[in-house]
A and B are shown apart, each in its own frame.
Chain A
Amino acid sequence: MSQSYNRGLIEDFGRWKEFSAGMWAWIFHKFTGWVLIGYLFTHIAVLSTSIGGAQGETTMVDGEAVNVYTATLQGLEGLFLVRLLEIGLLAVAVFHILNGLRLLMVDLGVGLEAQDKSFYASLVLTGAITVASVPTFLTGVSI
């Protein structure tokens, strides 16, 4: 198996039908990574309302002056869509963590022969943890 061959561009999504478990793991890891770094920028932007909040800035909620940070966070959490997005974020984060652990093992050369099985295990565990978290994420919100 020493002949060389051109595999083309590493990420040629046109060949998705030929992708193996390891390739899917790699693509999912990248997709979840993009989501997580995008979220981190959004997260810091939302939490930046604490700068005004620390200086006593308020906003009116139901005729009552509420700290702008408290009002922003609780206002967002009061939206059903935001709760759904949070469940999605948990799914994305859990998969990235579990597959990340899998990648650390691969880097260390541990269990290489089971790398495809550990990818499927990451998917199943992600699904289970996400489903189990739904009641917690939907507490105190209505559609």
Chain B
Amino acid sequence: MAERYSSFTPGGTGWFLQRVTAAFLVVVLAFHFFLLHFVNHAYEVTFLGTEARMQNIGYFLTMVLFLITAAFHGVNGVYNALVNQGLEGTQKKVVLAVLVIAGVALVAQGIYVALAMRGMI
């Protein structure tokens, strides 16, 4: 092995967090799809139904954690994919900054939406 072909820093937390969030998302994404397409049907979703589901604090917190982990996993994944494409130097820093801002904005908007669904806003 003359060269490394990985977008992750050796021993870095990025690699570890991508795996930890993956393990969590595998379970929660499957649950989410199953609940909202097979138990409840997406075409029957109403505001009252969503509000009722969000009253359960466990469900509410799971959805917020789902949002945070998915946003991290997705944005970090995009960053790694771009690094694989040969992104370097200033470009790499700018892309990282844009992705961090987009990720934080997504999480902030998502939490605001979750609070509205729970009737807290």
Contact = CB atoms under 8 A, between A and B. Distances in A.
Contacts of B94: none
Contact of B74 (A40, A86, A90, A97): A40
Interface of A: 4-5, 7, 9-11, 30, 33-34, 36-37, 40-41, 44, 47-48, 50-51, 53-54, 67, 69-70, 73-74, 77-78, 86, 90, 93, 97, 100-101, 103-104, 107, 133, 136-137, 139-141
Given A44-B110, A47-B113, A54 B121 contact: yes
Interface of B is mostly: helix
Interface residues of B, number: 44
Contacts, number: 106
20 contacts: A4-B2, A7-B5, A30-B81, A34-B78, A34-B81, A36-B74, A37-B74, A44-B113, A47-B117, A54-B116, A54-B119, A54-B121, A67-B46, A67-B47, A69-B50, A77-B42, A97-B30, A100-B26, A136-B41, A139-B43
B3 A74 contact: no
A51 B78 contact: no
Contacts of A104: 19, 22-23
Given A70-B47, A73-B45, A136-B38, A101 B78 contact: no
Most buried by A among B30, B42, B67, B86: B42
B113 A37 contact: no
Interface of B: 2-3, 5, 19, 22-23, 25-26, 29-30, 33, 37-38, 41-48, 50-51, 67, 70-71, 74-75, 77-78, 81, 84-86, 102, 106, 109-110, 112-113, 116-117, 119, 121
A36 B113 CA distance: 19
